[in-house]
Structure 1
Amino acid sequence: MAWIILILSGAFEAVWATILGRPANLQRPALLAAFLGSLFISMYGLGWAMRFIPTGTAYVVWVAVGASLTVVYAMLTGVEPVTWIRVLFLLMIISGVIGLKLAS
């Protein structure tokens, strides 16, 4: 259960990071609420998961999930280019997270 919460928390990190990426978004009440809500859920879930998963492992997984989803979203929406090298490095991040899960 802790791993599921951790991964979901990483997904919420991607939400708040994406909203934060455009400062004008924080001027809109609905997006500001989404930012604050996703920030709270992300941090709370990370803290909860750290009670069961070693801190270093939990933090790396949380960052990797959030960063990967943020980059994938940016590529899908055309904000960032899709290149084979970017996809390769994203796959390396994901394989590292899987390796950490298998090692713990």
Structure 2
Amino acid sequence: MAWLILLLAGLLEIVWAVGLKYTAGFTKPWPSIITLSAMIASFVLLGHALRTLPLGVAYSVWVGIGVVGTVVFGAWLFDESLSLLKIVSILLILLGIVGLKLTS
């Protein structure tokens, strides 16, 4: 169950990271409310997952999900470039996440 909670926390990290782009420096109310809500929920869920999972593993997986998702959504929504090196790097991060899950 802790892994599922951690996954949800990581997905919410993607929401708030992408949401930051839409807040225009927190000058737009609705995007700001959604972003801050996702941020709080992500941290609360991470804290809940940390009751069971080791800190280093949980935090690394949480950040990894956020990084991978943010790069993918940045490319999709904002036309940010995806070079071969970026794709390989994302795959290495995913490999690290899987490795951390398998060793915990």
Q: Same fold (TM over 0.5)?
A: yes
Equivalenced residue count is 104
- Determine the C-alpha separation between the residues in 1 that align with 2:77 and 2:20: 16
**Corresponding residue for residue 4 of structure 2:** 4
Deviation at 1:23, TM superposition (A): 5.1
Deviation at 1:99, TM superposition (A): 0.4
Aligned-CA RMSD value: 1.4
Per-residue CA shift, 1:47-73, capped at 9, x if unaligned?
A: 000001001110000000011100100
**Corresponding residue for residue 47 of structure 1:** 47
Per-residue CA shift, 1:45-103, capped at 9, x if unaligned?
A: 00000001001110000000011100100011243102111111101000100000000
Identity of aligned residues (%): 38
Deviation at 1:32, TM superposition (A): 1.1
Residues 76-95 of structure 1: pairs in structure 2 closer than 5 A: 76-95=76-95
**Corresponding residue for residue 31 of structure 1:** 31
**Corresponding residue for residue 63 of structure 1:** 63
AA paired with 1:95? L
Q: Does the residue aligned with 1:27 lie in a helix, a strand or coil?
A: coil
Runs of 4 or more consecutive aligned structure 1 residues displaced over 4 Å after TM superposition: none
> Where in structure 1 are there 5+ consecutive unaligned residues?
none
